[in-house]
Structure formats: structure tokens, C-alpha cells
Amino acid sequence: MKKIIILIPVFNDWKSLDKLIEEIRIIANNYDDKFSIVVVNDGSTEKLGSNNQLFSQETKVKILNLMQNVGHARSIAIGLKHIYEKEDFDFVIPMDGDGEDRPEEIGFFIDNISYFDNKPIVGERVKRSEGNLFRFFYLIHKFVTFTFTGKSIKFGNFTCLPRDVVKKLVYEKSTWNSFSGALVKIQKNFGTIKSTRGRRYFGPSKMSFLNLVKHSLTIMSVFKANVFFRSVLFFFLYFFLISNKISFLTSIPLVGVFIFLLIILNLSKRENLEDYKNSLKNIRDIESN
């Protein structure tokens, strides 16, 4: 019997979390494995309502209440560190708490665990629920990320992580910056399942264009050496091509690459292993059923 922990970061979206946990319980009933849920409350400003059913479910639920908001990626990092140091588990499945990571796909992960032999399994996006404009920019994000890093990253947080991989992530400073970037950095081989991006249970999606840009830049900052080398290569090749016709307009791409590099280097400073080591001190208290 496998011990599986579902890790869910949440900020204020208690109503969606309640629905998600109810659906996870239904999925768990189809398996003989032992399921539990760790929720990272990322400093929510809205309190858990007294009529909330989170702790009335059969599945064990634990909520880590953070004193300060740290953002989605770092909430997952804190959750992984807590689970590795404090919980008994075989696998961790991080997922969003709003329904965009579809709970029925948890079963796809579990069904493929033995097939992929202790490799992390990622939910490779084959279909998204957003509009055509967002999908277009998402394709640009993947293209630019691959161009500057040499890494093809087609997944987000929704993954299935064996204990050994969780250990690597907990001791990797990039995890404090970008989950998917860190996972690609520490792991060469992956199992994959086909994953469809679902719709939020309640309210509009929080993945705006600006959030997508920040997400893309943060991933690239994990591979800053690759980005630096490819940016410098582009700089000299482009400069060679325009050397006989330099003007204000032809210089814009060079300035753009320079600014891009500064942003990447600045974001890479988020990788602070010492801060990650001390991150559990941000947990104010823990609630559980």
C-alpha cells in the first residue's frame, strides 16, 4: 500500500479547496493506497469559514498556516520541506486548489507509478481551457524558454514525485524560486501523463498575461548560465549582422536582450538555500482532523 500525500497551496480560495478535497476523497476511495492532504495556507486574508467541510472528510487533512504570504511556488517549496521532514510518505502530488488541475487525473498518476519505476511523473499539458489569445502567448512562452535555456518544459506543478525526488528538491536552492525549473534541473528522466487544464471551480483564472510573463522569466532564471551564454551569442551574431547599418531602430533588440539578461540575473537571486532551510519557521500553526 502506497502512502500518497496531495500537496495544495491556497490563498483565500477556501470554497474551491472544499470542493477539490471532496473530489479527491471520491478518487481515493477507488484505490487501496493511503491518501492524505497537506494544504499550505499562504497567509490568506480570508479565514476558513465555520461551515467549511474540510475536516469532515474521511481523508486526513492538515493545514499549514503561514504567517507571511510567500507566493505559489514558495508555498509548494515549504510544503515539500515539511512533508519530507515531518510526514510518512512514498509519493507527493502537488496540485492547484482551484480545479484547474483536474482531480480525476490523480488516478492517471497512480496507475502509472509502477510503470515508470520511481521516476517523477509530470502532467504534460495537451489541452488548455483558456482563450485563444492566452494559448498563443503560452506557445510563445514555451518557445522563448526553449530558445534561451535549451529546456522544453511542458508541465507545471501538477506532478507525482517519489520520495527520493522530493529529497533532491528540498536540498536544491532553485526549488525556492521555481518548482518546474528546479525539477528539470535535478532530474533528467520523467514519466508523463496527458493532462488537460481544467476550469476554475469558482471565479476567473488567476493566470493573467503578466503572471505568465513572470512565470516564464522565473523558470528561465533557474538556468541563468544557459540564458547568459545564448544571450551573448545572440548579441554578437546580431551585432555582426547590423554592424554596417547601426541605427536607433536596429539597436532596439540589443537593448532588449541586455534588459532581459538583467531581469533574469535579478530573479535568480531568489534562489536562497539558507532562506529555504529556515522556511518552516514561517508556519504559524498547523490544523488537522
Q: Which CATH number do you get for residue 48?
A: 3.90.550.10
- The closest of 109, 115, 203, 116 to 157, measured between CA atoms, is 109
- pLDDT, tens digit (0-9, with 9 covering 90-100), for 106-164: 999 999 998 998 899 999 876 655 566 667 777 787 888 888 898 888 888 999 999 99
pLDDT at 55: 62
Q: Please state whether beta strands 91-94 and 159-162 pair in parallel, antiparallel, or not at all (unpaired).
A: antiparallel
Residue 280 resides in a domain: no
In a domain, 20, yes or no: yes
pLDDT band at 52 (very low <50, low <70, confident <90, very high): low
Kindly state the greatest CA–CA separation across the chain: 72
249 falls within a domain: no
Please tell me the predicted confidence (pLDDT) of residue 61. 92
- Confidence band for 85, pLDDT divided at 50, 70 and 90: very high
Mean pLDDT over all residues of the chain? 88
Q: Tell me how many domains the chain contains.
A: 1
> Alpha-carbon distance 18 to 4, whole Å?
19
Residue 273 within any structural domain of the chain:
no
For the chain, first and last CA: distance in Å? 22
Task: Work out the pLDDT band at 46, boundaries 50, 70, 90.
Answer: confident
Burial profile 196-228: b = 16 or more Cβ within 10 angstroms, e = fewer = ebbebbeeebebeeeebeebbbbbbbbbbeebe
- Residue 215 maps to a domain: no
Cα–Cα dist 37/54, whole Å: 10
The residue written with cell numbers 510544503 in the block is 79
In a domain, 165, yes or no: yes
> 70-105 burial by CB neighbour count: b if 16+ within 10 A, else e?
bebbbbbbbbbbbbbeeeebbbbbbbbbbbbbbbeb
**Over the stretch 203-217, which tens digit does the pLDDT of each residue have?**
776 666 677 788 889
Residue 247 lies in a domain: no
* H helices present in the chain, as ranges: 14-28, 72-86, 106-112, 132-149, 163-170, 179-186, 209-222, 224-242, 248-268, 273-277
Confirm whether 58 is domain-assigned.
Answer: yes
Distance CA 118, CA 167 (A): 13
What crossing angle do the helices spanning 224-242 and 132-149 adopt, rounded to 10°? 90
The residue range of the domain holding 159 is: 3-206
